[in-house]
Amino acid sequence: TKEVIREILTSESNAKLELIAKGYSYKDLKLGRFDIKLRPEKVNAWDGVNKRRYTIPEQYVIRYEPLKETKDALDILNKSIDN
């Protein structure tokens, strides 16, 4: 039923969020890989809207890399545009 599926997907999402909070990378079946990377501090970054320089602090970011199956599915979608 819908409620059981929703409960399973919610549990899966919560487990992935716990992994991210602990700094672990994970692979999501055939969709892609989520890597946790530490981005170093960036000094003297330019803010083009407010015309000023500022410092971006060191922080963790998520890097997503699609796997082959995801890239293939996207290629099929893009080919449908050409036709």
Q: What is the pLDDT of residue 81?
A: 87
Phi-psi region of 23 (alpha: psi -120 to 50; beta: other; left: phi over 0): left
Query: How does pLDDT run along the chain (83 residues), one tens digit per residue?
Result: 899 999 999 999 999 999 999 999 999 888 899 999 999 999 999 999 999 999 999 999 999 999 999 999 999 999 998 76
Ramachandran angles phi, psi of 35, nearest 5° = -105, 135
∠ Cα 27 33 34 (to 5°):
100
Q: What is the pLDDT of residue 83?
A: 61
Give CA separation, 67 vs 19, 30, 34, in Å: 20, 6, 11
